[in-house]
Amino acid sequence: MTSIELPAAADFHVHLRDGSMMETVVPTIKKGGVSLVYVMPNLVPPITTVEQALSYHARLQAIDSSVTYMMTLYLSPEITPAVIAEAAKTNEIFGVKSYPKGLTTNSESGVVSYTQYYPVFAAMEEHDLVLNLHGESPSSETTTVLNAEETFLPTLFDIHEKFPKLRIVLEHCTTAAAVEAVKKCGPTVAATITAHHLYLTIDQWADNPHCFCKPVAKLPSDRAALVKAATSGNPKFFLGTDSAPHPKSAKVGTATGKTAAGVFTQPYAVQYIATAFDRAGRVDMLKGFACDFGRAFYKIVEKGLGSKDGGVIVLSKDPGVVVVDTIGAGEGVVVPFHAGEKIWGLQWKA
């Protein structure tokens, strides 16, 4: 199979930033074969009120109104059950995103912080909002970036047990352990898988800043488990690219000495996925993973979304395309994943 027609894809984990970077990134959504995106709230400052979310939504619409933008709030003390009730009444906000504290404290204190939000989770369950979990424990004497996801899984089980009707997405899962955990949970628990984690292991990012992200890519056995889950047809696993644009100067460390975490995949989102599925010999499973399962989990039709959501894309293995070296210009120039490498091609059907 060297060509395939699909409905436009949905990407349930994107970073579109704000300001000039937003201007650079938003036009690449459709280019990547995607008509609906679930937009992460980690701006500076983060999106913690309904008003902020609606204002951000309007800024995105102003750049490309043909895309459906679904918004999520940043879990923080400002998010109360009253805010959840208010958010649920909008047509734009569909979830709350939880980020780990990022502090080098022990994992127990991390778990305590989730308990603190149980009243919020109860309100989310009541109002049918989705909890988006960045599932990593803070570093400690026993936890590093390697097992930060696996050590978080008991917290996922805890929240799911306490709130069985709360829809939860374990975002950008990266390990065989996480795949198994999500499969073990009830149907209200799903996971997004990125494009880049279908390709990377630690060996690729160790010396390549453009492949470094959080959660970090792990072992070949973990990558194999992700490819298997993504191509399995299990509707618990669907596309969330976690595409994260950083200016090149933040990636190669010239700005701060450190490497910013994030891989930029937005402009070729579905093409990277198609290429990976093709390598696995499972292009037939692309539609479920990239188009259907996420929309079903988020109840797109049921919730009256997706009036603009649609269109048909055509993916082709031959001749394919070569990923450009950079997107954007000047200080905001971004290096896409696998720059210079050949991947599948994509066109929108007229």
Q: Which of 45, 82, 116, 207 binds a second copy (CB under 8 A)?
A: 207
Residue 156 CB burial class (10 angstroms; 0-12, 13-18, ≥19)? buried
Q: How far is the CB of 253 from a second copy (least distance, A)?
A: 4
CB burial readout 158-167, b (16+ within 10 A) else e: ebbeebeebb
- Asked whether position 280 contacts a second copy by CB under 8 A, the answer is no
- Asked whether position 17 contacts a second copy by CB under 8 A, the answer is no
Quick one: which segment of 128-136, 151-159, 218-226, 273-281 binds a second copy (CB under 8 A)? 218-226
- Asked whether position 42 contacts a second copy by CB under 8 A, the answer is no
Q: How many degrees, rounded to 5, is the angle at CA 288 between CA 285 and CA 293?
A: 150
Quick one: which segment of 69-77, 85-93, 213-221, 234-242 binds a second copy (CB under 8 A)? 213-221
| The two structure tokens encoding residue 276 | 């990976």
Nearest to 181 by CA among 197, 202, 199, 161: 161
Q: How far is the CB of 345 from a second copy (least distance, A)?
A: 24
Nearest to 3 by CA among 283, 312, 232: 283
- Asked whether position 296 contacts a second copy by CB under 8 A, the answer is no
Distance CA 322, CA 205 (A): 21
> E strands, the chain, where?
3-7, 9-14, 34-39, 68-74, 93-98, 130-133, 168-170, 189-193, 237-239, 312-322, 342-348
Q: Which of 111, 202, 285, 321 binds a second copy (CB under 8 A)?
A: 202
- Asked whether position 139 contacts a second copy by CB under 8 A, the answer is yes
- Asked whether position 254 contacts a second copy by CB under 8 A, the answer is yes
Number of residues that bind a second copy (CB under 8 A): 28
Please write down the long-range contacts of 277-284, taking CB distance under 8 Å and 24 or more positions apart. Answer: 277/230, 277/231, 278/317, 278/344, 280/227, 280/231, 282/231, 283/1, 283/4, 284/1
Q: How far is the CB of 98 from a second copy (least distance, A)?
A: 21
Distance CA 341, CA 325 (A): 9
Q: Which of 184, 258, 303, 308 binds a second copy (CB under 8 A)?
A: 258
**DSSP 3-state assignment of 72?**
strand
Q: How far is the CB of 224 from a second copy (least distance, A)?
A: 8
Q: Which of 76, 113, 259, 316 binds a second copy (CB under 8 A)?
A: 259
Q: Which of 63, 88, 122, 252 binds a second copy (CB under 8 A)?
A: 252
Quick one: 113 or 259, whose CB is closer to a second copy? 259
| The two structure tokens encoding residue 272 | 């990277």
- Asked whether position 144 contacts a second copy by CB under 8 A, the answer is yes
Quick one: 239 or 260, whose CB is closer to a second copy? 260
Q: How far is the CB of 48 from a second copy (least distance, A)?
A: 26
Quick one: 111 or 252, whose CB is closer to a second copy? 252
| Distance from the Cα of residue 129 to its chain's centroid | 17
- Asked whether position 318 contacts a second copy by CB under 8 A, the answer is no
Residue 349 CB burial class (10 angstroms; 0-12, 13-18, ≥19)? exposed
CB-CB contact of 314 with 284 (8 Å): no
Quick one: which segment of 12-20, 51-59, 76-84, 196-204 binds a second copy (CB under 8 A)? 196-204
Distance CA 40, CA 63 (A): 17
Quick one: 134 or 210, whose CB is closer to a second copy? 210
- Asked whether position 209 contacts a second copy by CB under 8 A, the answer is yes
Quick one: 113 or 139, whose CB is closer to a second copy? 139
- The residues binding a second copy (CB under 8 A) are 139, 141-142, 144-146, 201-203, 206-210, 212, 216, 219-221, 251-254, 257-261
